[in-house]
Structure 1
Amino acid sequence: MRISGTTAGEIAGSVRDLVASGELAPRAVLPPVRALAAELGVNRNTVALAYRRLVEAGVAETRGRGGTVIAAVPQLAREGVGVGGALIDLASGNPDPELLPDILAAARRGRYSQPLYGMPAVDAGLAEWACADFAEDIEQPFRTLVAHGAVDATERLLNAHLARGDVVAVEDPCFLASIGTLRLNGYRSAPVGVDGAGMRPDALRAALEEGARAVVCTPRAHNPTGASLTEERAADLRAILAGHPQVLVIEDDHFSAVSARPYHRITPSTTARWALVRSVSKFLGPDLRLALVAADTETTVRLEARLSAGTTWVSHLLQHIAHELLLDTAVHELHERAREAYARRSGRLVERLHAQGIEVPSRPDGLNVWVELDVDGRSVVDALAQRGWAVRPGHLFVRDPATHQGAIRVTSSTLSASQAEAFAAEFAAVLGDLRPANG
């Protein structure tokens, strides 16, 4: 390893050159600070600063006593993958395809003309609809934009205001993509515990005291737990955030059109930088890759610079389709059926689990049911797979898997009555096999 240089910038540049040339591979351990300083004839603080710059740039990461290592691309879990064969899929996190509208039919309706470079980034009709929709829930002045889905919007919003190494408060457990967004962009996460009413106020307060510069919250149909904020809980969170007006607040209302719960806002009027994100994936279709964003003026200016016309605007064809669907009364009726169906299916699963002595403390909203366990979740997943059922282990949805082994997530979006009955019985049998005989 031929690291060279006499200043922090030169040393960091030398390491980056070695990484770029392939001489330093991912997970390679860099020399201890003291040893490299002696070898180069520089002060230890110079090497320490060089290593810190490498970490800030995402080239390296620190592992405590394990030293400083070259960063590798994180291996991240994703929704909708890894299920195959003859297993009954209760793991994907997907909506029911039968409850999604016909996208191609909508594409042929209305007036659509090919946009050219220099056209406004947001379809005028969709912008008008979004403004009216957001105005029902937002009292502050706002502007609207369109992003490539909720994950894209959240990532761009964080990048518009934060730097690598900043702390972001997120629910724990939380959405798989949120974990990936934070890790890939070099943010540190401050986990905020969740109960049946959503984010716990004490946990949010602790995250803010830890130095969180942003909060990402799911106000309803939280994935993976199905929790939704109550009016009282939202008020408690607003009161806490009111004392931190500098913190960016992002609300990911991904289930808006088909949620069985009302939206309760956590963003106080004192918050300077905020955004409410509503994607259409769960009720119009994941392939539309589109989310509507309402935000304060400064945030929309920063986000607009990252979604500018001529570079990365969201396809106007997709915007046209979304607008046509959102205006369609038949689609509104489909959303009502979806809202009732998802609530009925998750509720039925909870009832069948309760009948088997398996507790789910609150009635969830959304596509999934979260079950806390007194045995290892991965063992439960493996045993259920042997019986023909695919579910997700809970450790995938938390910041530190070592601290949370006992949970599974069950996708209930397409679950029939007979399947709910059979799954609950099989689940109970698995738990009985895994628990100690005297338990």
Structure 2
Amino acid sequence: MLLTRVVRFVIIRGGHFSSVTPHDRGVNSRTAGCDVLDSSALTALIEDPTSHSIAAAVARLIHSGELAPGDRLPTVRELAADLGISPATVSNAWQALSRAGLVVSRGRSGTLVRGAPRDWMPERYRGLDASADAALDLSRGTPDPQLLPALEGSLSRLSPRAETASYQQKPDIPELHDLLRETWPAPVESVTVTNGALDALDRVFGTVLRFGDRVVVENPGFPPIIDLLEHYGVEPVGADVDEHGMRPDSLASALSSHPAAIVLQPRAHNPTGASMTEDRAEALARAIGRVSRGAGPLVIEDDHSGQISSSPDTTLAGLLPERTLHIRSFAKSHGPDLRIGALGGPRALVDRVVSRRMLGAGWTSRMTQRLLFDLLTDDEAVATVARARTEYAARQRALLDALGAHGVRLPESDGLNLWLPVSDERAALVALAAEGIRVAPGEPFQVGTSSPHVRVTVGVLRADVHRVASALATASRAGAE
């Protein structure tokens, strides 16, 4: 590793010079003022004077803590002179670091190491923060706005006045409630509307889990779920995922920790795109224990992309009805700003969630519920969602085929995302940033054992598939010894 070399950095601190080795300086050993990395010290860490190698060397210094937020990089002309290369090469390296969100240009103040992400963001969300610009942003995990149904017609049919007459009204409008029950993947005792999937998860966690409990989660899995569990003082226990979702053998091992619950994504798993088959659901039910009756951990299913998934609607609720809570979100299919989803399962559990919610948010806006009901029953909106489902599947297929042509072969992926193994995560991010492409780092998605990956939001990839595939293939090998 380059950072193991004995190199003494000359850091200019508040107008004074200080000589330190990389290991002398920790993240917390800063003095007041803006520190400046000496150009000649940086050149000793650059093996190959290309824009990619320069950017990678600086990225390693930032991630190791040798460069701290606010430190100033050498000027383009200064480093170019020390390396004997064109200033344009250094400028391209600085631009790649900026696109990767690692540095920020402050005009005459120079190029500075970017500060920590916004403090209001949960820890793993911070690892996904993509505040810097990129020509092609494939990091967000959001649906393509062009594939969402138009709202004008449904909005025009809403009542012009708010309809709530009492704070003690039933929280769900009857039409939507009945439609949800009719389309639920298994017979269900009770259904209630929530403000999206994460709201439902939050309500369930806060209602049924206790401080110190353990909960089995997918590894990799959705970062906010892990953040949310840790917020409640609950310990996440990772169970590995393959092309069909959570692995039964890994779940069986995790069950030895006596968890209070298991959280899984049955379709279009984020980040891998895996979807659970009927055989896998039966195997998981057997691993959990008694299929029909009896004590055991609660199963919480997060079907966040159901209506745009091309996989069958598979659930454990038909096998473990007394202990399965199924969550359905309409954010990916109908728009994140609708903030609406549904929770269904045993009446005793759902009623506890509804009762607790009545003391806080109370209910999901009934106007929003009527808007969703209209979208779910309007022929044009239904056709738009169907076209989106077909288009997302085509984009996945196109990128998988293009990656295969570049020697990167991955299992089938469903929904919006693709999970790409890489040799070195940070090197891959920098290499893609140099191409104007942003993807999400894999580290925030993993709990327990981990391996270098990046998540690619294929759902927003409308064109340039072969160029993107080439860049992804090259980035997957970046940093290899």
TM over 0.5: yes
Residue 322 of structure 2 aligns to a residue whose secondary structure is coil
Deviation above 6 Å: which 4+ runs of structure 1? none
* Counterpart for residue 121 of structure 1: 171
Structure 1 residues 111-154: Cα deviation after superposition (integer angstroms, max 9, x where no partner): 464213232211111111111111xx213x41110111101101
Match of 1:411 among 443, 457, 461: 457
1:279 and 2:326 correspond: no
Match of 1:255 among 290, 305, 330: 305
* Counterpart for residue 467 of structure 2: 422
Question: Structure 2: which amino acid aligns with 1:369?
Answer: L
Specify whether residues 291 and 79 from structure 1 end up closer, same or farther in structure 2 by C-alpha distance, changes over 3 A only.
farther
* Counterpart for residue 232 of structure 1: 279
Match of 2:416 among 367, 375, 379: 367
Structure 1 residues 22-43: Cα deviation after superposition (integer angstroms, max 9, x where no partner): xxxxxxxxxxxxxxxxxxxxxx
Contact 2:127 2:441 in 1 (8 A): no
Instruction: Name the CA distance, whole Å, in 2 between partners of 1:261 and 1:78.
Output: 31
Specify whether residues 432 and 176 from structure 1 end up closer, same or farther in structure 2 by C-alpha distance, changes over 3 A only.
closer
Specify whether residues 435 and 324 from structure 1 end up closer, same or farther in structure 2 by C-alpha distance, changes over 3 A only.
same
Match of 2:446 among 376, 398, 418: 398
* Counterpart for residue 15 of structure 1: none
Specify whether residues 250 and 431 from structure 1 end up closer, same or farther in structure 2 by C-alpha distance, changes over 3 A only.
closer
Question: Structure 1: which amino acid aligns with 2:198?
Answer: V
1:138 and 2:189 correspond: no
Question: Structure 1: which amino acid aligns with 2:234?
Answer: Y
Match of 2:424 among 332, 357, 376: 376
Report the TM-score, using the length of structure 2 for normalisation. Answer: 0.70
Report the TM-score, using the length of structure 1 for normalisation. Answer: 0.77
Contact 2:223 2:444 in 1 (8 A): yes
Question: Structure 2: which amino acid aligns with 1:239?
Answer: R
Q: 1:73 Cα deviation (Å)? A: 9.2
Contact 2:237 2:254 in 1 (8 A): yes
Q: 1:266 Cα deviation (Å)? A: 2.0
1:46-195 to 2 correspondences below 5 Å: 75-77=123-125, 81-111=129-159, 113-114=161-162, 115-116=164-165, 117-134=167-184, 137-139=185-187, 141-195=188-242
* Counterpart for residue 381 of structure 2: 331
**Which segment is superposed worse, 168-177 or 262-271?**
262-271
Q: 1:427 Cα deviation (Å)? A: 2.5
1:342 and 2:358 correspond: no
Instruction: Name the CA distance, whole Å, in 1 between partners of 2:124 and 2:359.
Output: 31
Instruction: Name the CA distance, whole Å, in 2 between partners of 1:147 and 1:284.
Output: 15
Contact 1:143 1:296 in 2 (8 A): yes
Rg larger in structure: 2
Question: Structure 1: which amino acid aligns with 2:368?
Answer: L
Structure 1 residues 308-334: Cα deviation after superposition (integer angstroms, max 9, x where no partner): 288521111111111111111111111
Question: Structure 1: which amino acid aligns with 2:170?
Answer: P
Q: 1:161 Cα deviation (Å)? A: 1.3
Structure 1 residues 196-232: Cα deviation after superposition (integer angstroms, max 9, x where no partner): 0111001111111111110111111000000001121
Instruction: Name the CA distance, whole Å, in 1 between partners of 2:317 and 2:383.
Output: 31
* Counterpart for residue 259 of structure 2: 212
Residue 250 of structure 1 aligns to a residue whose secondary structure is strand
Percent identity, aligned pairs only, is: 33
Q: 1:350 Cα deviation (Å)? A: 0.9
Contact 1:368 1:411 in 2 (8 A): yes
Instruction: Name the CA distance, whole Å, in 2 between partners of 1:392 and 1:179.
Output: 17
Question: Structure 2: which amino acid aligns with 1:297?
Answer: R
Instruction: Name the CA distance, whole Å, in 2 between partners of 1:262 and 1:332.
Output: 17
Cα RMSD, aligned residues only: 2.2
Q: 1:158 Cα deviation (Å)? A: 2.0
* Counterpart for residue 196 of structure 1: 243
1:297 and 2:347 correspond: yes
Q: 1:165 Cα deviation (Å)? A: 1.2
* Number of aligned residues: 358
* Counterpart for residue 31 of structure 1: none
Residue 276 of structure 1 aligns to a residue whose secondary structure is strand
Question: Structure 1: which amino acid aligns with 2:475?
Answer: V
Residue 277 of structure 1 aligns to a residue whose secondary structure is strand
Instruction: Name the CA distance, whole Å, in 2 between partners of 1:171 and 1:415.
Output: 26
Q: 1:252 Cα deviation (Å)? A: 0.9
Q: 1:272 Cα deviation (Å)? A: 2.9
Contact 2:194 2:343 in 1 (8 A): yes
Instruction: Give ranges in structure 1 of 5+ residues lacking alignment.
Output: 1-71
Instruction: Give ranges in structure 2 of 5+ residues lacking alignment.
Output: 1-119
Contact 2:403 2:469 in 1 (8 A): yes
Q: 1:378 Cα deviation (Å)? A: 1.8
Q: 1:83 Cα deviation (Å)? A: 4.6
Structure 1 residues 7-61: Cα deviation after superposition (integer angstroms, max 9, x where no partner): xxxxxxxxxxxxxxxxxxxxxxxxxxxxxxxxxxxxxxxxxxxxxxxxxxxxxxx
Q: 1:194 Cα deviation (Å)? A: 0.3
Residue 255 of structure 2 aligns to a residue whose secondary structure is helix
